[in-house]
Amino acid sequence: MKPFSPHRAGALLEPNDVIYMPGWSHCYRIVSAPFSRIHYLRWQGHLAAAPTDPQGYVTYRVQALGGQRVDQLVLRAF
């Protein structure tokens, strides 16, 4: 298991990394590369896109070890 610290400056997680944070009930496996979620909307008759995640945050798809369900995890990117 790769220890995860939210204070690792500039460190991005990679697919198949396994992370755990104190207080979590499971270890999680990263199943996607980091990405920013996009929200699409119509503005003045045009299709526009805006980031859903706050500035400085990235989203990962994660799966609990031994689980089937894939969830999204939003982490602050330092």
Q: What confidence tens digit (pLDDT) does each residue in 17-67 have?
A: 999 888 888 899 999 988 878 888 888 889 988 888 788 888 899 999 999
pTM for the complete prediction?
A: 0.69
Reduced to 3 states (helix: H, G, I; strand: E, B; else coil), residue 74 is: strand
Dihedral, 38, 42, 43, 44 alpha carbons, nearest 10: 160
